Structure 1
């Protein structure tokens, strides 16, 4: 039985612009990762590798973005055509969660790309109508409902900014356990002690993983991001 591999990577690029020195270095690194599927959070399309196929989660995540119209909380880049793009238009996942099916040579593969809100989202900024972790938990609920409708015959990859370290560090136990419960249908490959970890950018899937690599949020020039990036090699048995 032949094992056919694909690579998936994710990184939060901390609103870098492609015209800046930091953005140029991020763009070069993202290209060098040479992923088949790439989820970028807090990013812009012009940071992504040239060509191919891109969808994003939308422009409204509850903050005023008029001064930065190119920013997106969640972007999905694919080497292969994307179909059935779905985003959330209401609730905490609006502008942050998307799903699409990549028409890969291995067959269809669904990608769930996420930027789950951080602990203080919309508490003292944005709408200012939330409490600590309330947006995060609501987004987890929405992801669970979305995933319940997925076709089980199509493999799923979840990637993006989970805004929780795994294993748990300082987040409340109830919040940590809720995230694990939502992700329980997949295997999380990026938890535990990994280089440049513990991570908050994660990859999970029902496809087996044969390799994992991370990179730091800094290079020889200086800071790139306040997150480390990660790439996983997954395979589909033919």
Structure 2
């Protein structure tokens, strides 16, 4: 399951409502974007997250990507080249006895520009740059295992 929490604090009614909806579906894996590191604290299981680049002022507990699993994560790796402009984190976990690589991404929106960098990025440039950096990683991982 994948959902954007839109930076809502875990205690807000909006985030609680979304998390309750997700829990009612009993997923095995969840990827939240624009969430807080505590967003899935009530789920138990295993959580990893990536802070990512700031496009606007943000709280230290905000994360661009939060991945949750019923099963333990292994080989957790933030993708450092993407952390300044968006966020991506990858790890392995097991599904039905098979090891699968998960990749959680938060791609910059069309007007995204790293906070404090002047001149501001032109529309879509950070989005396109993010995808160009991510592309070879996806190709490499897909050669080795299910992604």
Which range, TM-score by smaller chain? 0.7 to 0.9
Aligned alpha-carbon RMSD (Å)? 2.2
Q: Match of 2:61? A: 70
Q: Identify if the C-alpha distance between structure 1 residues 47 and 30 changes in structure 2 by more than 3 Å, giving closer, same or farther.
A: farther
State whether structure 2 residue 46 is matched by structure 1 residue 37: no
Structure 1 unaligned blocks of 5 or more: 1-8, 157-238
Aligned partners of 1:106, 1:152: CA distance in 2, in Å? 20
Asked if 2 retains the 8 angstrom alpha-carbon contact of 1:89 and 1:95, the reply is: no
Asked if 1 retains the 8 angstrom alpha-carbon contact of 2:85 and 2:108, the reply is: no
Q: Match of 1:50? A: 43
Aligned partners of 2:83, 2:61: CA distance in 1, in Å? 20
Structure 1 residue 90, shift from structure 2 partner: 3.1
Task: Tell me the TM-score normalised to structure 2 length.
Answer: 0.85
Match of 1:141 among 109, 132, 143: 132
State whether structure 2 residue 94 is matched by structure 1 residue 103: yes
Structure 2 unaligned blocks of 5 or more: none
Asked if 2 retains the 8 angstrom alpha-carbon contact of 1:92 and 1:135, the reply is: no
State whether structure 2 residue 13 is matched by structure 1 residue 21: yes
Count of residue correspondences: 145
Q: Identify if the C-alpha distance between structure 1 residues 18 and 92 changes in structure 2 by more than 3 Å, giving closer, same or farther.
A: closer
Structure 1 residue 69, shift from structure 2 partner: 1.3
Structure 1 residue 22, shift from structure 2 partner: 1.7
Bigger Rg over Cα: 1
Task: Tell me the TM-score normalised to structure 1 length.
Answer: 0.55
Higher relative contact order (CA 8 A, sep 6+): 1
